Every structure is written in C-alpha cells, then in structure tokens.
Amino acid sequence: MRYLHNRSFRPLSFLIGLLFLAGFAHAQTSPRIVSLDGTVSEILCDLGLQARLVGVDVTSTYPESLQKLPKVGHNRTISAEGVLAQKPTLVLTTEKAGTKADVLDQLRSAGVEVVSFKQEFSVEGTKKLITDIATACRVPSKARGLIRQVDTEVAGVKKAAGRPKVLFIYARGAGTMFVAGRGTPVEKMIELAGGQNATNQFDDFKPLTAEALVGANPDIILLFDSGLESLGGANGLLNVPGIAQTNAGKNKRFVMMDGHLLTGFTPRLGKAIGELARKIAPGGTL
C-alpha cells in the first residue's frame, strides 16, 4: 500500500494507458479494405464495416457516403497500382466484377489478402453472398438480420404480367453500346420481374448492332439512368440506328433504373425487382 502511495500510482493515467494500447492493437489488426465490386461494398456497409473501407470501384455507388472514398477504377480496367496506392491489407471482390486474374495475383504478390466471392444471380445467391462476406469479415451473426430483410422484401414483390420482351442496353455514349445476352445478371432481373430477355442469341454482352435490334424487336428497352443520360435522353436513343424500328422505339417504351440497383443483386433485391416489375408492367410508370 505504502509502495503504491510512494510511487504515486494514478488509476486514471493507468486506464488511459490501457485504452491507448487497446486502440493501437486494434489499429494493427483492423483490415484496410478495398472493394472492387459495388455489391460487396454495399453489403460491407450494411454489416457496419464501412469504416474499414479505404477504396472502392466505380460501381460502388450506394450508399451515397461511399462517394467520398478514393475510386480505384471499373472492373476490367482496374490496375494493381491504383489499388495498392490505398495501402489495403484486404481486397474483396466477386468473380462477376471481372477484375483480371493477373491483377489479383499482383495484389497477392504484394502481400495483400484477396478474396473473390462467387456470386449467383438469384435470391438465394444474394443471401449466400451476404453470409460469405459476413463470415470472411468475422461478423457472421450480423448476416441474419440482412437476410431476413431480403426475404421479407422479395416476398412482397408483384411480378409484371404478360412477359414483356425487354432488351437491356449498356451505354456510355453512342460509341460504347452493349446488349445483355444470356446468363447476365440483368437477364435474371428481367425474369424475376416477370419479363423475358428479348435476345437469347448469345452469352454475356455484345456490341449493339441495328440488325440485332430489329431482330430482337423488344417491347421495352431498359437502360441505366446514366446510360440514357450519356445518349442525350430519349431523343438521343431514338437516333441510334435500329431503335425507331422496334416496338419499344415506336411506342417510346424506354425504362431506366439506377445501374447498381438493377444489376447488383444487393440486399435491396426486393426493392430492385419491385421497381423493375412496376416499370415494365403493361402501362407501367417510367
């Protein structure tokens, strides 16, 4: 007792010291995460891990607060240097994001842990991705609430009637236009919403041609908000060769949605399917 008095033991300083050490240890073990996929980023935020993110790709548009983080590029054009500049300890992505294997290998060679999740474009696939990310980030119990939310929201969706033929066009100006074929996430979304893909001639994405457009003759043309905007709106789209000859062009049935919500298969899946179903339904709101 005397010893303690003599050495002027101060409980407050001792406590502050302990807190400092705990904070230091935490900083050493907390990962610095770069996400190369908008869906992964959104799930990380939903799991309460946004503070761990130090960089994201350009498809990471939701929640809005991600906008303040450094952007490291867009799927196939991502470079290892851009990612490493954010000094990550962990890089998370999906196979769908399409980042080149040699870029991921370069990151691994630089000592960064890289996890590439397999994402299936279905309700079950979304729930599994949530579980996989929560497990990889050591917060498995946090997945449950999110999964319940997905189930509840998807259960409340009403599909569009009449199986309208929908063609999705990815546009970044008139010089960069692609059509979504078989097996694409957007095809699965169209089906979940009650429509059918107007083209089943090829897998993945193909550059748009006037012949393919006229051949597919969609009832509805679906684009990202940013895609239609990049063409100068509905009038710009009508000037693209072939569009005006389709049923969609004749009836000006152009439908837009937020790109990440439409193609991401995120925890907001029910909201996304519901919005698309309303928009492609006969007489639906654009």
Interface with ligand HEM (CB under 6 A): 38, 58-59, 61, 74, 170, 172, 176, 205, 224, 226, 258-260, 263
Other CB atoms within 10 Å distance of the CB of residue 136: 15
Q: Least distance in Å: CB of 148 to ligand HEM?
A: 26
Q: Least distance in Å: CB of 277 to ligand HEM?
A: 19
| Reduced 3-state DSSP string for 161-173 | CCCCEEEEEEECC
Nearest residue (CB) to ligand HEM, 60 versus 116: 60
Cα–Cα distance for residue pair 280/2, rounded to 1 Å: 82
The two tokens of residue 46 are: 């939903």
Check if the beta carbon of residue 70 is closer than 8 Å to that of residue 81: no
Helix (H) or strand (E) holding 70: none
Closest listed residue to residue 195, CA positions, set 283, 281, 286, 285: 281
Cα–Cα distance for residue pair 264/135, rounded to 1 Å: 20
Cα–Cα distance for residue pair 234/275, rounded to 1 Å: 20
Cα–Cα distance for residue pair 42/31, rounded to 1 Å: 17
From residue 116, how far is each of 61, 105, 132, 190, 212 by CA, in Å? 20, 12, 10, 26, 34
In three-state secondary structure terms, 225 is helix
In three-state secondary structure terms, 113 is strand
For residue 167, the cross-strand partners are 221
Cα–Cα distance for residue pair 264/266, rounded to 1 Å: 5
The two tokens of residue 196 are: 């059918």
Nearest residue (CB) to ligand HEM, 59 versus 197: 59
Helices (H), 181-231: 185-192, 210-216, 225-230
